[in-house]
Structure 1
Amino acid sequence: MKANDSFPQRIVCLTEEPTEVLYALGEENRIVGISGFTVRPPRARKEKPKVSAFTSAKVDEILALKPDLVIGFSDIQADIARELIRAGIEVWISNHRSVEGILAYIRRLGAMVGAYEKAERYAQRAEAHLEEVRRAAAQLPQRPKVYFEEWDEPIITGIRWVTELIGIAGGDDVFPEHARESLAKHRILADGSEVVQRAPDIIFGSWCGKRFRPEKVAARTGWESIPAVRSGDLHEIKSPIILQPGPAALFDGLDAIHAVIAHWSEKASRI
């Protein structure tokens, strides 16, 4: 790193997506602290100190790292941000919730560290992948109705970028009206019978922080009549590749969803 580098040189990442982006851009040397939930890239966990969870952080340890920028995500980290700002630290809290928002985030973060051209190439690579999957999905013989469950108690439906990725992958989210709700509390289903009524062909589960239990979902009252339950099409999408509003969702998350949808579509076309 050049001594006269005017861009941030000591960055703490409170969530995984800025860590993943900075590593992808070859700017990982700027990172001095990461979230304890970080799994991508795997080497980050070995190389960087873990100083935060999602709703809490070791503020004293963050301050000891003398960061010139702390990056977080969403209103849920507002209290952490406020405490750091009061301590004189510059904080950027992003709040993107869509596929376009993720692409813009990559470009914006790249510009903030003086790596705009690398970020632009990376964003274009993601856009090309989205288009490749979209074209493949357009060739599928049938589009399934898809239910995505982000949490089980209470039942929470998928956030906007998840719904958009389902559409790109060849499916139709059965709760599209919930996708625009950025806060999880506004995506809670008061009654699980709503899922029964919408009769999804595929159920995806991604319970952040714990393993998806398809047998538990299938045993819910009345859910035995759902096409996805009858056919056994209940699938886990690991939360690190779909519930982080970063590159993982645009690559591995999208691919995982598309693989299940493509298999279902080919199977349905033979019935």
Structure 2
Amino acid sequence: MPYDIGPRRIVCLTEEPTEVLYALGEQQRIVGISGFTVRPPRARKEKPKVSAFTSAKIGEILALEPDFVIGFSDIQAEIARELIAAGVEVWISNHRSVAGILDYIRRLGALVGVPRRAEEYVHQVMMHLDSIERAAVALPKRPLVYFEEWDEPLITGIRWVAELVRIAGGDDVFPERSAMPLARDRIIADPGEVVREAPDIIFGSWCGKKFRPDRVAARPGWSAIPAVRDGELHEIKSPIILQPGPAALLDGITALHTVIARWSHAYAERAARGPSRKRRS
């Protein structure tokens, strides 16, 4: 199909533009992808992998003769600088919220000349979010949730994660930190803060390595946390929650809600049987 609008040779330095372009049927424009890309699975078979997250094969990217490169956040600023210096047009998005992800889909769709298709896709995603939110509203109890993005040092979840936790039926225990766009501003220097917040559920998504509930439970003083005491430590795979793209709004929130809903119904069953433990309101 001839395409007359927008860039024709796109390199995606992160997964979300790849996932969006495939969802919109515009994958023929992609000539290179991130090595961390897992969605859609076919992309790994069809496209050359030319970058990680904080590094990229600049020479290989330039050899692909891209007319547009898409990246994300300040972490890829140096990669962007090198490509711009080589004469390549680069778009570094910096969206950090659910609304920002939806707008990102719209902007990318408009960029490649399929704004209507992008809007239809956004509508589908929003319908999924709405269905999760309706189910969450009906839950008998909202748990307190601690989401851990990294363990050394402890880093709590970014804004879109906290928003998805809320939509899924939980209350993030560090909402003020989630609003901070930079990871360094979401560091929890004192692990005792988590103990004092007493979350009912702990989600872990350590980007690039497997979440270890046993190590979390063994932290000094953490045995007093309800989530640790009750065995409510759950991994959410980073590709479906820490990528600011459709995956988080579809599979990520579904995974969150599944755990939250099960906890909530179990809590209600215990309450019906007799007095329950005191919880912070």
Tell me whether the two structures share a fold, i.e. TM-score over 0.5.
yes
1:212-227 maps to which residues of 2 (within 5 A)? 212-227=211-226
TM-score, normalised to structure 2, is 0.95
Cα displacement string for residues 172-201 of structure 1 (whole angstroms, at most 9, x for unaligned residues): 000001011000000001110000000000
Aligned to 1:188: 187
Query: Unaligned stretches of 5+ in structure 1?
Result: none
1:198 alignment partner AA: E
Residue 238 (1) aligns with residue 237 (2) = yes
Aligned to 2:251: 252
1:114 alignment partner AA: G
Q: Residue 155 of structure 2 aligns to a residue in which SS? A: strand
Aligned to 1:117: 116
Aligned to 2:168: 169
Residue 61 (1) aligns with residue 60 (2) = yes
Rounded to whole Å, the distance in 1 between the matches of 2:89 and 2:184 is 29
Superposed displacement of residue 67, structure 1:
0.5
Superposed displacement of residue 231, structure 1:
0.5
Aligned to 1:146: 145
Rounded to whole Å, the distance in 1 between the matches of 2:239 and 2:120 is 23
1:6–1:138 distance in 2 versus 1, CA, 3 Å: closer
Superposed displacement of residue 2, structure 1:
1.5
Question: Pairwise CA RMSD of aligned residues?
Answer: 0.6
Rounded to whole Å, the distance in 2 between the matches of 1:182 and 1:227 is 29
Residue 92 (1) aligns with residue 68 (2) = no
1:136 alignment partner AA: A
Residue 102 (1) aligns with residue 101 (2) = yes
Aligned to 2:2: 2
Aligned to 1:266: 265
Superposed displacement of residue 6, structure 1:
3.4
Rounded to whole Å, the distance in 1 between the matches of 2:161 and 2:94 is 15
TM-score, normalised to structure 1, is 0.99
Aligned to 1:70: 69
Rounded to whole Å, the distance in 2 between the matches of 1:82 and 1:229 is 44
Q: Residue 179 of structure 2 aligns to a residue in which SS? A: coil
Q: Report how many aligned residue pairs link the two structures.
A: 270
Rounded to whole Å, the distance in 2 between the matches of 1:125 and 1:230 is 39
Rounded to whole Å, the distance in 2 between the matches of 1:267 and 1:180 is 31
1:104 alignment partner AA: D
1:196 alignment partner AA: V
Work out the percentage of aligned pairs sharing the same amino acid. 73
4+ residue runs over 4 A deviation: none
Superposed displacement of residue 255, structure 1:
0.1
Aligned to 1:83: 82
Aligned to 1:160: 159
Rounded to whole Å, the distance in 2 between the matches of 1:111 and 1:269 is 47
Residue 204 (1) aligns with residue 203 (2) = yes
Superposed displacement of residue 7, structure 1:
1.5
2:11 alignment partner AA: V
Aligned to 2:19: 20
Cα displacement string for residues 32-51 of structure 1 (whole angstroms, at most 9, x for unaligned residues): 00000000000000000000
Rounded to whole Å, the distance in 1 between the matches of 2:11 and 2:81 is 15
Cα displacement string for residues 114-166 of structure 1 (whole angstroms, at most 9, x for unaligned residues): 01111000001111111110000000000000000000000000000000000
Aligned to 1:127: 126
Q: Residue 220 of structure 2 aligns to a residue in which SS? A: coil
Rounded to whole Å, the distance in 1 between the matches of 2:29 and 2:189 is 45
2:134 alignment partner AA: R
Query: Unaligned stretches of 5+ in structure 2?
Result: 271-281
Cα displacement string for residues 92-134 of structure 1 (whole angstroms, at most 9, x for unaligned residues): 0000000000000000000000011110000011111111100
Q: Residue 250 of structure 2 aligns to a residue in which SS? A: helix
